[in-house]
Structure 1
Amino acid sequence: MPEDAPPSAEESQPPVKKVKRLPRLSRGAVAFCLMLGLLAGIGTFTFGYGKGASYLSNDPQGCANCHVMQEYYDTWQHSSHHHVAVCNDCHLPHDFIGKYVTKADNGFFHSLAFTFGNYHDPIQIKPRNREITEHACLDCHKDFVHPLLPPETEGLNKQDLEMLSCVHCHADVGHVFRPMSSGARRESP
C-alpha cells in the first residue's frame, strides 16, 4: 500500500471509549440513604438550635440554655459554691471518659424529657447522678471528710448509708432554695 493513500473510514474514526456504569442501587438502599440523610439533617438542626456545643463546655450558662434549668442556674449563683465550682465540677465524674459518657447520657435523656415535657417539677436527681455528686463532694473535701467516714460501708444498711451522704444534710449547698409555702414551687432567693 502506498504511503500517500487516504486512511479508510474505520481508521479515521476516533476509538470508542467504554463508559463505566455505576451499579444500580436497590430501592431499599436509596431509602436507607435518604433516611440516614434526613436523620443527620434533623440531628444537625436540633444540635444547632439547641446550642448543643455549649453543653460540651465548662460554662454554667450552657446549662441554662433550657428554660427549665434557669432556676437551678440562678440558685447556683447565690450558693456558697458559686465562686469555687461550676455545674460540671459537681454533676460529672472527674475522669475524662466518665465525664463525656455522663454528659452524653444526661444530654440525651434531658433533651428527650424537656422536649416532651416529661419530667418532674422540681427536677429530681437520679440515684446514679446523686452518686456522682456525692463522689464530687468527697473528692473536693477529702482532707476534711475522709477521717469522718467509716473504713468500710459494705455492712451498713440503706438508712445509715444515706446519713453518710453529703447531699443528705447539705442539699442546698450548690443550689440555695427558699420554700415559699407548703405545696408551692421552690424558688431561689
Structure 2
Amino acid sequence: MPWIAMCSVAVALLVFLNLMRETKMLTLLSHESEACIVCHPMNTLYATWQHSSHRNGTVCIDCHLPNDGFVNKWMAKARDGMRHSTAMTLRNYGMNLHVTDDAAGRIQANCIRCHESAVSQMLDNSALYAKQRDDTVQTGRRCWECHRSVPHGRMRNLAATQNNFLEQDIK
C-alpha cells in the first residue's frame, strides 16, 4: 500500500509540474508585458501596445493593475487571472475582449496618476461637460472615450494579427 501511495503522489506531482510548464504559470508572476501574451487572445493587444508611445515607459501592469500597494496589486492580479483562466478554458470571451468595471476603474485611476498634470486641467473643466458627464468617474468621462486608440490602437478583434494592422490602426 505505501508503494501505491508514493506512486500516486509522484504521478500527481509530475502532472502538476507539467501543467506549470505547459501553461507557463511562473511567467504569470512576472511584471513583464511578455507574461500577458502567454494567453493567445492577448497577442493582438500586445502587438498594438508594442507600436504605441506607451511601450517605452510602461508595462501592462502599470495600466491594468492598482498601484496603491502590494496586496491590492496581487489581489487584482489573482482575480483577473482567475477570470482570464476561466474565459480561456471555456472559450467564452468572444471575438472582442471587453474590460470589466473593476478593471476600467483601475485603468482610469492609472491614466490620471501618470498624466496628472494634463488631467488637472480636465478636472477643472469637467463641469463644462455636464451633459456627457459620468458621475462614477473622477473627470466626468473615461480617458479612452477620447483617446480610444491609446495604447492599443483601434484593433480589438482577436482574429487580427500584427501583420494586418493598417498604419492608422497602430498609431
**Counterpart in the other structure of 2:80:** 106
| CA shift for structure 1 position 171 | 2.2
Distance between the aligned counterparts of 1:178 and 1:159, measured in 2?
25
**Counterpart in the other structure of 1:60:** 33
**Candidates 94, 97, 115, aligned match of 1:141:** 115
- RCO higher in structure (CA 8 A, sep ≥6): 2
Distance between the aligned counterparts of 1:57 and 1:135, measured in 2?
22
Equivalent positions of 1:1-189 (< 5 A) are: 45-94=18-67, 95-150=69-124, 159-161=132-134, 164-178=141-155, 188-189=165-166
**Counterpart in the other structure of 1:14:** none
Q: Deviations over 1:41-84 (max 9, x none)?
A: 76654333211111111111110111111111101101121111
Change (3 A) 1:160 1:44: farther
Is residue 177–residue 186 contact of structure 1 (8 Å, CA) maintained in 2? no
**Counterpart in the other structure of 1:8:** none
Give the TM-score, by structure 1 length: 0.66
| CA shift for structure 1 position 148 | 2.1
Distance between the aligned counterparts of 2:158 and 2:20, measured in 1?
34
| CA shift for structure 1 position 120 | 2.6
Matched letter for residue 97 of structure 2: I
User: Which ranges in structure 1 are unaligned for 5 or more consecutive residues?
Assistant: 1-29
| CA shift for structure 1 position 109 | 1.1
Q: Which has the higher helix share?
A: 2
| CA shift for structure 1 position 152 | 9.5
| CA shift for structure 1 position 172 | 1.5
Distance between the aligned counterparts of 1:151 and 1:177, measured in 2?
27
User: What is the number of equivalent residue pairs in this alignment?
Assistant: 150
Once superposed, what is the RMSD of the aligned Cα atoms? 3.4
Identity %: 30
Distance between the aligned counterparts of 2:130 and 2:14, measured in 1?
50
Matched letter for residue 64 of structure 1: I
User: Which ranges in structure 2 are unaligned for 5 or more consecutive residues?
Assistant: 167-171
Matched letter for residue 46 of structure 1: L
